[in-house]
Amino acid sequence: MEKSLTPQQVYDQLWSQGAAALEHGQPQIDPFITDRKHDLRRGYTLVFRPSAEIRKAIGQFLEQALFIAPEQHFYGPGEIHTTVLSIIPGSVTWQQHVRDLPRMRGIIAEECRKKKVFKIGYRGVTASPEAVMIQGYPVDDTLLRLREALRSAFNLRGVGADIDRRYKVSAAHITVMRYGAAGADWKRLLELLKANRATNFGEMQVGELELISGDWYASAESVEIVETYELQQP
């Protein structure tokens, strides 16, 4: 069995690709980000939200990025999140999988009851050719064990076959910016990202998860909270 990459390995791989794209002025421009009404991709995602203190720290970083590249797409304070698992991955065929959602919700509730609250720290930024992200580092393996327990339970009960179709989630990042327009000062943006590669955005305790439905970008105007799940207190 192929060994999963650590969060740091994921972030370093992304940075290698993303920094090179910006250095050469060739990031991948998202064709839907400025015309989301015509983007039919939808999905269901299990997420948790950063604390107010972490949102504030991220906002201060994004103010600098907005000054350099105002034409790009920035996630709002109520939109930023960390994905635990894409329960029904975003696609134009999402409705074909909704029939499994009631069983999946039951499995999520069952597994969350078994897992304790956990801590996560957000330190540094990374980038892919498509987006800018804040790096998240769980303090222990609770998040990893929850993901694996969900995958195992879904597989055992014959649901969630598409969960890892795009890629297997192993990191705990927050996507905060996407490239939506050409012609920006990419090298200046790259310098800002380099200057924040080790910025400490704070640490928090995660005690509640949300199952949300929404568009590809989890836009505020599209997201609905389907259910919330409490983790065990220590």
Question: Could you give the residue ranges of the DSSP H alpha helices within the chain?
Answer: 7-23, 52-68, 101-112, 142-156, 186-195
| Beta carbons of 121 and 54 less than 8 angstroms apart | no
Which pLDDT band holds residue 93 (cuts at 50, 70, 90)?
low
* pLDDT for the residue numbered 3: 57
pLDDT score at 164:
56
Q: How far is CA 206 from CA 18, 67, 93, in A?
A: 29, 32, 32
pLDDT band (50, 70, 90) for residue 2: very low
Task: Report the alpha-carbon distance of residue 91 to residue 138 in Å, rounded.
Answer: 28
- In angstroms, rounded to a whole number, what is the distance separating the alpha carbons of residues 46 and 226? 10
Q: Provide the residue ranges of all domains of the chain, joining segments of one domain with +.
A: 7-226
Residue 196 pLDDT > 50: yes
Q: What are the counts of helices (DSSP H) followed by strands (DSSP E) for the chain?
A: 5, 9
Burial class (CB in 10 A: 0-12, 13-18, 19+), 165: exposed
pLDDT at 1: 35
Mean pLDDT (the chain) is 90
Kindly report the CA angle at 92 between 173 and 80, in degrees rounded to 5? 25
Q: How confident is the model at residue 165 (pLDDT cuts 50, 70, 90)?
A: low
Give every strand in the sheet of 208-215, ordered side by side.
Answer: 82-91, 42-48, 208-215, 224-230
CB atoms inside a 10 Å sphere around CB 209: 22
- Residue pair 232/117 in contact (Cβ under 8 Å)? The answer is yes
pLDDT at 74 over 50: yes
Please report the pLDDT score of residue 111 as a whole number: 94
Give me the torsion for CA of 141, 147, 152, 157, rounded to 10°: 150
Question: Confidence band (pLDDT; 50, 70, 90) for 83?
Answer: very high
**Residue 99 confidence class, pLDDT cut points 50, 70, 90:** confident
Residue 52: CB atoms within 10 A of its CB come to 11
Residues 178, 184, 190, 191, CA torsion sign:
negative
The model's confidence at residue 216, banded by pLDDT at 50, 70 and 90, is confident
Residue 221's CB: how many other CB atoms inside 10 A? Answer: 9
Report, as an integer, the average pLDDT of 54-63.
Answer: 98
**Which of 113, 97, 126, 149 is closest to 10 using CA atoms?**
126
pLDDT, tens digit, for every residue of 115-152?
999 999 999 999 999 999 999 999 999 999 999 999 98
Q: What's the pLDDT at 162?
A: 65
The C-alpha R_g of the chain, in whole angstroms, comes to 18
Correct CATH for 7-226 of 2.60.40.2300, 3.90.1140.10, 3.20.20.70, 1.10.287.40: 3.90.1140.10
The pLDDT confidence band at residue 94, using thresholds 50, 70 and 90, is: low
* Of the listed ranges 48-62, 96-110, 176-190, 199-213, the one predicted with least confidence: 96-110
pLDDT of residue 33: 85
